[in-house]
């Protein structure tokens, strides 16, 4: 099972997204650590938290891409959807009593690394300028503060 190390190539340059991605990486590493203990309750909690947060991140990211009018938002959403399906299958196997933590950890670190680098990296140009606009009206109850409240 691999420990996921944050590298520069994972940075999108959009702070709010990078912070969310880092948090996901931290959670993957928490799963890595917790899985060693073989305590099912603890592992279950980490998986729950990790999946929850990742779903919120996806929803936030999709909303951001839509707001920015990013042309590939549809295929990007499809990729998120397929990933959620795969992860749900692992959750079901876990609930059924299987020991899937190592396998899930491997999938997550491999998949997320690629997804952040390639798919998320591809929307940066479109989203970055949009982000500067929405950050400005953060305090004034603009899109960003609403989206953060809605998804997290």
Contact footprint for Fe ion (CB under 5 A): 61, 120
Q: Are 113 and 4 in contact (CB under 8 A)?
A: yes
* Residues sharing a CB contact under 8 Å with residue 132, sequence separation 6 or more, in sequence order: none
Minimum CB distance to Fe ion, residue 121 (Å): 10
State the nearest-atom distance from the C-beta of 34 to Fe ion, in Å. 23
**Nearer Cβ to Fe ion (10/101):** 10
Residue closer to Fe ion, measured from CB, 25 or 120:
120
Rg (Cα) of the chain, in Å, rounded? 16
Q: Which residue number, 81 or 98, has a Cβ lying nearer to Fe ion?
A: 81
Minimum gap (Å) between residue 63 Cβ and Fe ion: 12
CB 126 within 8 A of CB 76: no
At its nearest, how many Å lie between Fe ion and the CB of residue 23? Answer: 11
Nearer Cβ to Fe ion (61/68): 61
Give CA–CA dist 78/10, Å, rounded: 21
- Widest CA span in the chain: 48
């Amino acid at each position: 099972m691999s420990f996921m190390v944050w590298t520069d190539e994972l940075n999108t340059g959009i702070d709010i997204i990078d912070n969310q991605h880092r948090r996901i990486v931290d959670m993957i590493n928490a799963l890595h650590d917790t899985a060693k203990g073989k305590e099912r309750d603890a592992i279950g909690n980490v998986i729950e938290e990790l999946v929850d947060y990742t779903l919120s991140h996806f929803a936030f990211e999709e909303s951001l891409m839509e707001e920015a009018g990013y042309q590939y938002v549809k295929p990007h959403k499809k990729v998120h959807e397929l990933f959620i399906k795969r992860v749900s299958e692992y959750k079901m196997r876990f609930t059924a009593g299987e020991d899937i933590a190592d396998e899930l950890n491997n999938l997550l670190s491999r998949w997320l690394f690629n997804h952040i680098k390639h798919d998320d990296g591809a929307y940066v140009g479109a989203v970055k300028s949009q982000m500067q606009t929405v950050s400005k009206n953060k305090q004034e109850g603009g899109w960003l503060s609403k989206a953060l409240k809605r998804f997290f």
